[in-house]
């Protein structure tokens, strides 16, 4: 979702502001030309009318108006500004293309290696999928191979997905899911307001820039009907274990999002309820063990170990279930 699409949205807003004056001038000129052409057509088809001095003077006036605009500081400045904007846009797009991640490996191989087999993910998300019962239709943004869509289908919940990665989208379709290939924010923005009952964002927000996240929350507010739900899962920055393991395994991750901040965004956007669920605890054999014994020293050490475990080995993920 991040990257090129966000760049185009930002540049589009800048260009719109810069070109408003130019477009107004061009519209006025086009109106004048249209009126002149109408007069010419009438004159040509009317045998009693000849191209006389008055009509020719109208042509001269329009031509002079265009020439005057091109000579004016406003016209010259607008044209120069447009040319400079185009050059800058080309440079930005070239730089974005160079920075864009274009893996030569297959995304389904990556998912299998580092997230788990499809069957494992289906079982992992079964409980979250049930939170969307009664919330059709559902849009799964960044649906990957379609594990969550499979669960929704099993529950009889109408759902579609959107996925940027071609291989992942193909894998989801092969599993029977309806998936559109594209940018999730763009697809969401095109939907009519209030047209969704549910939205799924599984391991998505850590791929977004800060501004994209803000846009996503507002889009979700607009597109989801009253009492609809959003299911979000992302990595938990309160667990240092995450940074030594899952987060940096994926080169497309942009930033972690604190659960308190994400909850704040949804509440500020007007959502009625935000529930937090902690998920994916680290393996038990990696957690620090208590010191045996019942003495004061052992109790003190174990209390400190518990605090250290909470910092180092808190759950790797958290989910938000947000009700509109």
Do residues 173 and 219 share a domain?
Answer: yes
Please tell me whether residues 161 and 87 are part of one structural domain. no
116, pLDDT greater than 50: yes
Of 40, 65, 99, the residue that ends a domain is 99
Residue-level pLDDT at 146: 95
Same domain assignment for residues 149 and 252:
yes
Of 99, 121, 150, the residue that ends a domain is 99
Pick 90 or 227 by higher pLDDT.
227
Greater pLDDT, 78 or 196: 196
Residue 256 pLDDT grade (very low, low, confident, very high; cuts 50, 70, 90): very high
Residue 269 CA to residue 324 CA, distance in Å, equals: 10
- Which of the pair, 174 or 1, is modelled with greater confidence? 174
Q: How many structural domains does the chain have?
A: 2
- Does residue 26 sit in the same domain as residue 174? no
Stretch 135-143: mean pLDDT = 98
- Please provide the size of the chain in residues: 324
* pLDDT for position 231: 98
Give 267-281 pLDDT, tens digit per residue. 999 999 999 999 999
What's the mean pLDDT in 3-10?
Answer: 56
- 284-320, pLDDT tens digit by residue? 999 999 999 989 898 989 999 999 988 899 999 999 9
In the predicted structure, residue 54 carries a pLDDT above the cut 80: no
Distances (CA, A) of 113 to 102, 107, 108: 18, 10, 9
Residue 298 contacts by C-beta under 8 Å, 6 or more apart in sequence? 291, 292
Q: Which of 59, 8, 69, 64 is nearest to 37 (CA)?
A: 59
pLDDT above 70 for 10: no
Q: Where is the domain boundary, 99, 122, 154? A: 99
Asked if residue 1 has pLDDT above 50, the reply is no
**Distance, CA of 162 to CA of 139 (rounded, Å):** 8
> What is the extent of the structural domain holding 196?
107-323
Letter string b/e over residues 273-300, b meaning 16 or more CB atoms within 10 A of that residue's CB: ebeebebbebeeeeeeeeeeeeeeeeee
Residue 96, both tokens = 């974005």
CATH of the domain at 285: 3.40.50.150
pLDDT band at 246 (very low <50, low <70, confident <90, very high): confident
For the entire predicted model, the pTM comes to 0.70
Return all residues near 209 (Cβ < 8 A) that are at least 6 apart.
2, 6, 254, 255
Q: Are residues 157 and 30 in the same domain?
A: no
Taking residue 27's Cβ as centre, other Cβ atoms within 10 Å add up to: 10
Please indicate, yes or no, whether residues 258 and 300 belong to a single structural domain of this protein. yes
Q: Is the pLDDT of residue 218 over 70?
A: yes
Question: Do 267 and 289 fall into the same domain?
Answer: yes
C-alpha 61, offset from chain centre? 50
For residues 19 and 84, state if they share a domain.
Answer: yes
Structure tokens at 221: 């507010």
93 and 181 inside one domain: no
| CB contact at 8 A, 236 and 317 | yes
Q: Do residue 11 and residue 47 come from a single domain? A: yes
Same-domain pairing of 134 and 152: yes
C-alpha distance from residue 215 to each of 48, 199, 220 (Å): 63, 15, 9
Token pair 């107004």 is found at 24
Higher pLDDT, 254 or 58: 254
């Amino acid at each position: 979702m991040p990257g090129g699409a966000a760049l185009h949205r930002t540049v589009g807003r800048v260009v719109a502001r810069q070109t408003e004056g130019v477009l107004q001038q061009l519209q006025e000129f086009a109106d004048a030309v249209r009126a002149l052409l109408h007069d010419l057509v009438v004159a040509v088809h009317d045998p009693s009318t000849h191209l006389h001095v008055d009509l020719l003077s109208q042509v001269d006036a329009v031509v002079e108006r265009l020439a005057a605009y091109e000579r004016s500081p406003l016209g010259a400045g607008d044209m120069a500004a447009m040319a400079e904007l185009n050059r800058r846009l080309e440079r930005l797009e070239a730089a974005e293309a160079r920075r864009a991640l274009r893996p030569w490996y297959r995304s389904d191989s990556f998912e299998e290696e580092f997230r788990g087999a499809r069957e494992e993910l289906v079982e992992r998300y079964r409980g979250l999928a049930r939170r969307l019962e009664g919330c059709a239709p559902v849009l799964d943004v960044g649906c990957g191979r379609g594990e969550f869509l499979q669960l929704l289908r099993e529950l009889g919940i109408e759902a579609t997905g959107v996925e940027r990665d071609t291989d992942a989208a193909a894998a989801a379709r092969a599993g029977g899911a309806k998936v559109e290939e594209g940018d999730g924010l763009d697809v969401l923005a095109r939907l009519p307001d209030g047209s969704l009952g549910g939205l799924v964002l599984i391991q998505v927000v850590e791929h977004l820039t800060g501004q994209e996240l803000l846009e996503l929350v507002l889009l979700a507010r607009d597109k989801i009907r009253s009492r609809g739900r959003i299911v979000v899962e992302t990595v938990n920055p309160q667990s240092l274990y995450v940074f030594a393991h899952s987060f940096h395994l994926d080169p497309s991750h942009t930033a972690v999002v604190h659960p308190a901040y994400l909850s704040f965004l949804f509440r500020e956007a007007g959502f009625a309820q935000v529930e937090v669920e902690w998920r994916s605890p680290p393996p038990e054999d990696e957690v620090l063990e208590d010191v045996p014994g019942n003495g004061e020293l052992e109790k003190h050490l174990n209390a400190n170990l518990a605090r250290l475990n909470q910092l180092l080995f808190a759950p790797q993920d958290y989910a938000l279930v947000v009700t509109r």
